[in-house]
Chains A and B, each alone.
Chain A
Amino acid sequence: MKRILVILLGVLPLAASCEKEIAYPIKGGDRSLLVECIASNGTDTTFISVQPTYPIGGGREGAVHGLSAAMSVNGKERDVELVSRDGEICVFGVPGQLGQGDAVRVDAWADGIARVSASGVVPAALQLDCERSLEDDNLIRYRMVVRRPDDGASRHCYAVLLRSISIAEEAMWYSGVREYTCDTLEQRVSYFNVVAEQPYTLCTLEGRPAMLFEADENSPSMEIVFDAGYDEDCVYAATPTDTSIVRYMYDVQLLNVPPLLYDYYNPPVSDVLLGAGLVPPFVNFSNIDGGYGILACAGRSSTGWTPGFDPLPPLGQ
C-alpha cells in the first residue's frame, strides 16, 4: 500500500510535472563534522569516528586538516590515539573501560571547522539470556530473551552485535624442540539473518554488522532469534608429530542503546516528499551539538567468547 501511495503522491506527479534546474535555495554554509561513537561498558577501547561534511549549497571545499577528537569521562580527559584513516574518515581509539553511570563527553574539531561535542551517561547493561542451537548448513541459531528495563522510559531499543575470532594453534618440532604458536584473528561475520518476525535494522556499529530492534512497549520482554554462520573447529595435521588446529570462538553482545540511535539508523527520509513539503519535517536524529552524527551511551552485556559445538581441545605446549 505504501508503494502505491508513493507512486500516486510522488511518481505520478513527477511524471506529469515540468522540471527545471534552479539555484540551490540554501546558500553556502560552513563545513561541519559528523561524529559517531558508541560509549559503553564491557569494552577496553571506545572508538570515535570523525569525518568532515560538505555544504550542498556551495561553500568551502577541499581537504580538511587537523581532524581531532577528545573524550572525557567524569570530567577527566582520556588519551586518544588515531587508529585508522580511510580517506577523510578518521577513527580514534580511547583506551580504558567505562562503567555504568559514567558521564562521557566527546569533542571533535578540525582546522577551520567549529568544535562539536556531545555528552551522555552510560546506562546499566541488560541481563542477557541467550541459548544457541546448531541448525543445518552450519548455522548457529541464537535465541535471546530481552527483558524490558523498568526505568520509566517510553521507548527501549536494543542492538545485537556478533563477533567471531579464529585461533590458529601450531605445535611443531624444530631441532628437537617443540615450538608452539597461537594466532588469534578477528573474523568478519559474513552472514546472519533474523528469523523472528519483529522488524529490525541492519547497520554497522564499531565497524561490525549489527542489528537494531525496538521493543514493543506493550510486552515486558522481547525474543530475538537469529541465525549466524558457523565454522567447525578443524585439525590440520602435517605429520604425525606436527599438528595445527583452528578453533573458532563466538561472542554475542546485547546493547541497551538510546532510541536516538535507532532513529539515527532508521531515518524516515524521502527526498521527494520532503522537498514537496508533503510530509512533516525530518531532521537528522543527532545529538552532536553543532554538528552531525551520534554519541550513543549504551549498556553492554555479552556471552563472552564461547567455543563452537564439539570444540577441539587446545594444543598443549
Chain B
Amino acid sequence: MKELHSSLCGLLLAALSTHTWNLSAQDAEGFHVADTIPQATVTALRPAAAYTGLVRLDSKDLLKGAALFGSPDVIKVLQNFSGVAAGMELSSGLYVHGGDGSDNLFLLDGVPLFQVTHLGGLFSVFNADAVESLSFYKSGFPAKYGGRLSSVVDVSTSDGSADKFGGSFSIGLIDGRLFLQGPIVRDKLSFSVAMRRSWLDAVLVPMIAIAARQNDMPEDTKAGYSMFDTNVGLTYTPTPRDRLSLRFYCGTDGLHYYGTDTEIQDSPEGVHRLEDKMSMALDWGNLAASASWRHLFPGGAELNALAYWSRGYSDMTGEIASESFEDGMVSSQKYNEKIFSSASVAGFKSIAVFRLDRHVLNAGIEYRHEWYDPVRTVTVSMPAAMPGSVPGMSESVFYRADGFSMFGEDEMQYGPLTLSAGLRLDLFAQGGKVYFRPQPRLSGSYALSRGLLLKASYEWTSQFTHLLSSVFLDLPTNLWLPATAKVKPADSRQVALGLHASPSRNWRIDVGGYYRTIGNCILYSGGLSLLPPLEDWESVFVSGRGRSYGAELELGYVADKFDVTAYYTLSWTTRFFPELYHDWFFDRFDNRHKLTLVSTWRIAPGVELGATWNFHSGNRVTLPEQYTVNGDGSRTLLYSMPYNAKLPAYHRLDLSCSFRSVTRRGRERIWNISVYNAYCRMNPSMIMTSIPDDGPPKAYAYSLVPILPSVSYTLKF
C-alpha cells in the first residue's frame, strides 16, 4: 500500500515545475492518507540552474564561511560568484558583467534602496541574521524587475517564527548583532527584529592617532566611524490565503575627523599661538518602509500588492578655521561648508499571477514618485579686521520625477523546454521630458537529458537614475540624480548562454558566456574636483558606451562532510568616452581572470572549517607614461590613455573555524575564528609615480590590508 506523505516537503519534491500539484481522485487511488493538513497551494520555483544568471541563497548560505571581522556580509558572498568583479579591497562593490557598481537593483522586501553600504563599502546594509532568502540575477532578469542595468539583488527578510520565540546574539571584533523573532499572536501575527551596531570608532581612534604621529600630521588628529542598522518586520496571516506584512529598515553611518595644526609666532609684541583647525562630520544612511499584501485565489492565482517608501540621505559638514599674524595682529578666517543630499522614492506596485495548464502568467503595474534634493552651502567668515560674515555660495537643485511601469510575462513549459517571454514598459517623466523604454525579456532552458540543461536569455534593461560619483567609493559626496533632458537614461542589451550539468549526485558544472552592451553610461569628467558642482552637474558628466563579454565556469562538489565550489571568469570590459579618449579603453575593473575557491569541511560534529581563496587580475589605474623636462628643470608628467596600467594580481586566502556546542540550557552557541588574508599577502591598492632628480623613475605600490584575525561569539536561543 502506498503512503502519500502529504507533507509540504513531499509536495515540493514532486512539483519541480511551476505547476500546482493537486491530488485528484484518480491519483489518490491506492494511496493511504497518513495525515491531513489544511488545504494549501504549493508553488515550487523553477530551480536556479534553469536560469542563465540566477543565484538563490538562504540565510545558512550567508552565515557560513569566512567573514571579514567575523561579520558575514551579503554582498561579499555575492562577490565570490563568477561574472562579478569585487572592485577595491574590502569594498562591497558589485560590478556585474562589466557594470559600474551603481547599476544594481537592491531590493529589501521589494523596496529599492539608495545607500546599500556602510563605511564606504566595507559592509553592506543587509544584516545576514535578518535575511531569509536572496535572489541574485546576473542575467535573464524577469520582467517584474526594472530600473537598473546590471543585476538584481532581491532580499527577503524573515517573517519571524509564528509559533516559537527565539533569536540570536552575536558579538565580534567590530560589531555586535541581535536578532529576535517570534509570535505575537500564535500562528497569526509574528515579528522579527534584527539590529547591528559597530564599535569601529573605539578601534579606529587610537590607530589614527598613531598613524598621524608617525606621518607628520597634526598631533591631535582624531577620526572615527560608527554605524547602526535595524530591520523590523511584522507579518499577519489572518487566513491561510492572506498574508500582510509591514517592514521597516533604518541604517545610519557616522564619520568624523578633527585635527589642529599649531604654530608659534614670535613678534615684538609677544609670542602668539596660531591654530589651524579642521573638522568634518558625515552622516549618511537609508530609511525604508513597506506594507504588502498577498492573496491566494482558489485555482492557483495570486495577487501581490506593495506600497513602499525609501529615502537615502547624506549630511556633511566641514569647517576650516585658520589664524594668521599680520601687521602685529592675529586675524582669523573661517570656512564652513555643508552638503545635504537626499533621494527618495514612494511607490505602489501590484503583481498578479495566473496559473494555467502549461502557462504561468505574471502581469503587473507600478507607479513611483521620486525626489532628488542636494544642497551645498559655503560660508566664509572674513578676518577680524573686516568684521561680518561674507556669504560664500549656495547651490541646490531639486528634481521630481514620476515613473510608471507595466509588464507581462508568460512562463511556458512544453516537456523539456521551459520558455519565459516577457515585456516590460517603463515610462519616466522629469522636468517636462518623458522617456519611454520597452524592454523585452526572454529566457529559456532545454533539458537535453537528465542532469543536462541548456539555457539562454536575452534582455533589454534601462536605468533612469544616475549615481554621480566623483570618487569610486560609496561616499556621501555621491549623489543620486534623475535622467534629465541633457543626461539621458542608460540602456543595456545582454545575451547569455549556459549549460548546466549534474553528472552525479555530488558534482555540478555550469558553463556559460555573455555579451553585453551599454549605452549612455556616464562618467565624471571633473577630475580632482571631488565635489561635483550641483547647479551645473550635467555639464561635468560625459556620456559614453560600454561593452563587456566573457565566459564563466562554476564547478561544485558536495559530499556529506566536504564541499568545494570553484568560480572562474574570463572577461573583457571596455568603455568608450569620446570626450576623454578617442578610442575604446579597458575599464578600471577589467579583471581578465577571476578565480574563487570556496570550501567547507565539517571535520567533526560541531566543528566546521571554511576556506575561501580569491584571485583576480589586477585592477586598472591611470599612470603617466611619459614626462618632459621644463626650462626650470621641473618635470611634467604626461598621461596618454585611460586605465593604461594594471596593479599586480590580487589574491588572498580567508580561513574560518566554527565551533558549535549546546549550552546547559539547550541553546546553541558558536565560536567563530576567522582570518582574513591568512598568508598576509599585501595586495597593492594604489600606485604612485616618483621621478627623482637623478636616476630612473620609480613606482611605489601601497597596500592597505594585512592579515586580519577576528573572533566572534554567537548565541542562539
Please give the residue numbers on chain A whose beta carbons come within 8 Å of chain B beta carbons, in ascending order.
1-9, 11-26, 29, 31-32, 34, 51-58, 86-89, 154-155, 217, 267-284, 292
Cα-based distance from A5 to B255 in the complex (angstroms):
12
Q: Is the CB of A283 within 8 A of B641?
A: yes
Q: Is the CB of A54 within 8 A of B629?
A: yes
- Which stretch, B30-38, B174-182, B395-403, B524-532, touches the partner chain A? B524-532
Q: Is the CB of B211 within 8 A of A12?
A: yes
Cα-based distance from A21 to B690 in the complex (angstroms):
10
A52 nearest CB neighbor, chain B only: B628
Q: Is the CB of B278 within 8 A of A25?
A: no
Q: Is the CB of A275 within 8 A of B686?
A: yes
Choose one: A12, A217, A273, A292; the contact of B638 (CB below 8 Å). Answer: A292
Cα-based distance from A275 to B643 in the complex (angstroms):
9
Choose one: A3, A6, A55, A269; the contact of B625 (CB below 8 Å). Answer: A55
Contacts of A16 in B (CB 8 A): 207-208, 211, 704
Q: Is the CB of A280 within 8 A of B524?
A: yes
Besides A4-B280, A8-B223, A9-B471, 6 more A-B contacts (Cβ < 8 Å) are A7-B257, A13-B686, A20-B702, A25-B699, A26-B625, A276-B702
Contacts of B316 in A (CB 8 A): 1
Q: Is the CB of A269 within 8 A of B637?
A: yes
Cα-based distance from A155 to B630 in the complex (angstroms):
30
Q: Which of B48-100 contact A (CB under 8 A)?
A: 88
Would you give the 0/1 interface string for B621-664, flagging 1 where the beta carbon is closer than 8 Å to chain A?
A: 11111111111000001111111111110000000000000000
Q: Is the CB of B702 within 8 A of A15?
A: no
Q: Which of B432-466 contact A (CB under 8 A)?
A: none
Indicate if B665 sits at the interface (CB-CB under 8 A).
Answer: no
Indicate if B581 sits at the interface (CB-CB under 8 A).
Answer: yes
Nearest Cβ distance between residue A304 and chain B, in whole angstroms?
31
Q: Is the CB of A278 within 8 A of B473?
A: yes
Cα-based distance from A26 to B648 in the complex (angstroms):
12
Q: List 21 A-B contacts (CB under 8 A).
A: A1-B531, A5-B475, A8-B223, A8-B255, A14-B702, A15-B212, A24-B689, A25-B699, A26-B644, A53-B638, A54-B629, A57-B697, A267-B527, A271-B688, A276-B621, A277-B588, A277-B619, A278-B686, A279-B471, A282-B639, A283-B642
Q: Is the CB of A22 within 8 A of B687?
A: yes
- Chain A CB within 10 A, most for which of B588, B685, B691, B699: B699
Given contacts A15-B215, A275-B687, A281-B622, contact A21 B628 (CB under 8 A): no
Given contacts A274-B622, A275-B621, A282-B639, contact A25 B647 (CB under 8 A): yes
Choose one: A8, A55, A268, A281; the contact of B585 (CB below 8 Å). Answer: A281
Given contacts A22-B687, A268-B529, contact A277 B702 (CB under 8 A): no
Contacts of B470 in A (CB 8 A): 279-280
- Chain A CB within 10 A, most for which of B530, B691, B696: B530
Q: Is the CB of B623 within 8 A of A25?
A: yes
Cα-based distance from A58 to B619 in the complex (angstroms):
22
A11 nearest CB neighbor, chain B only: B217
Cα-based distance from A277 to B207 in the complex (angstroms):
25
Q: Which of B693-717 contact A (CB under 8 A)?
A: 696-704, 706
Cα-based distance from A270 to B680 in the complex (angstroms):
29
Choose one: A22, A155, A217, A272; the contact of B699 (CB below 8 Å). Answer: A22
Contacts of A56 in B (CB 8 A): 623-627, 637, 689, 691, 697
Q: Is the CB of B701 within 8 A of A279?
A: no
Q: Is the CB of B699 within 8 A of A18?
A: no
Cα-based distance from A2 to B335 in the complex (angstroms):
12
Cα-based distance from A273 to B624 in the complex (angstroms):
13
Indicate if B519 sits at the interface (CB-CB under 8 A).
Answer: no
Q: Is the CB of A19 within 8 A of B539?
A: no
Indicate if B682 sits at the interface (CB-CB under 8 A).
Answer: yes
Q: Is the CB of B646 within 8 A of A2?
A: no
Indicate if B325 sits at the interface (CB-CB under 8 A).
Answer: no
Q: Is the CB of B280 within 8 A of A1?
A: yes
A53 nearest CB neighbor, chain B only: B626
- Chain B CB within 10 A, most for which of A23, A52, A54: A54
Cα-based distance from A292 to B627 in the complex (angstroms):
10
Q: Is the CB of B645 within 8 A of A26?
A: yes
Shortest 4 CB-CB contacts between residues of A and residues of B: A268-B527, A281-B642, A276-B686, A15-B215
Contacts of B700 in A (CB 8 A): 19-22
A22 nearest CB neighbor, chain B only: B701
B279 nearest CB neighbor, chain A only: A4
Indicate if B167 sits at the interface (CB-CB under 8 A).
Answer: no
Q: Is the CB of A9 within 8 A of B473?
A: yes
Given contacts A26-B645, A58-B696, contact A20 B701 (CB under 8 A): yes
Cα-based distance from A170 to B141 in the complex (angstroms):
88
Q: Is the CB of B529 within 8 A of A20?
A: no
Choose one: B88, B622, B628; the contact of A282 (CB below 8 Å). Answer: B622
Q: Is the CB of B638 within 8 A of A6?
A: no
Cα-based distance from A217 to B684 in the complex (angstroms):
42
Q: Is the CB of A21 within 8 A of B581?
A: no
Nearest Cβ distance between residue B680 and chain A, in whole angstroms?
10
Cα-based distance from A199 to B696 in the complex (angstroms):
37
Indicate if B580 sits at the interface (CB-CB under 8 A).
Answer: yes
Nearest Cβ distance between residue A248 and chain B, in whole angstroms?
27
Contacts of B625 in A (CB 8 A): 26, 29, 55-57
Cα-based distance from A301 to B259 in the complex (angstroms):
50
Q: Is the CB of A276 within 8 A of B280?
A: no
Nearest Cβ distance between residue A272 and chain B, in whole angstroms?
6
Given contacts A56-B689, A281-B585, contact A22 B337 (CB under 8 A): no
- Chain A CB within 10 A, most for which of B627, B638, B643: B638
Given contacts A34-B628, A292-B638, contact A17 B699 (CB under 8 A): no
Cα-based distance from A274 to B704 in the complex (angstroms):
16
Contacts of A22 in B (CB 8 A): 648, 684, 687, 699-701
Cα-based distance from A243 to B644 in the complex (angstroms):
66
Q: Which of B303-350 contact A (CB under 8 A)?
A: 316, 318, 320, 337, 339
Cα-based distance from A6 to B685 in the complex (angstroms):
16
A32 nearest CB neighbor, chain B only: B626
Choose one: B278, B585, B686; the contact of A4 (CB below 8 Å). Answer: B278
Contacts of B523 in A (CB 8 A): 280
Nearest Cβ distance between residue A267 and chain B, in whole angstroms?
7
Q: Is the CB of A280 within 8 A of B527?
A: yes
Nearest Cβ distance between residue B124 and chain A, in whole angstroms?
20
A154 nearest CB neighbor, chain B only: B539
Nearest Cβ distance between residue B13 and chain A, in whole angstroms?
49
Q: Is the CB of A273 within 8 A of B471?
A: yes
Q: Is the CB of B471 within 8 A of A25?
A: no
Given contacts A15-B214, A19-B701, A269-B528, contact A277 B638 (CB under 8 A): no
Q: Is the CB of B318 within 8 A of A4?
A: yes
Nearest Cβ distance between residue A54 and chain B, in whole angstroms?
5
Choose one: B207, B255, B320, B623; the contact of A275 (CB below 8 Å). Answer: B623
Q: Is the CB of B530 within 8 A of A5?
A: yes
Q: Is the CB of A277 within 8 A of B697?
A: no
- Chain A CB within 10 A, most for which of B339, B523, B704: B704
B621 nearest CB neighbor, chain A only: A277
Indicate if B620 sits at the interface (CB-CB under 8 A).
Answer: yes
Contacts of A17 in B (CB 8 A): 685, 702-704
Cα-based distance from A277 to B621 in the complex (angstroms):
5
Cα-based distance from A228 to B384 in the complex (angstroms):
28
- Chain B CB within 10 A, most for which of A19, A271, A277, A283: A277
Contacts of A25 in B (CB 8 A): 623, 645-648, 687, 699
Q: Is the CB of A2 within 8 A of B624?
A: no
Given contacts A271-B689, A275-B621, A284-B639, contact A2 B529 (CB under 8 A): yes
Choose one: A32, A277, A284; the contact of B686 (CB below 8 Å). Answer: A277
Given contacts A18-B703, A276-B686, contact A4 B698 (CB under 8 A): no
Indicate if B679 sits at the interface (CB-CB under 8 A).
Answer: no
Would you give the 0/1 interface string for B205-221, flagging 1 where the beta carbon is closer than 8 Å to chain A?
A: 00110011011010000
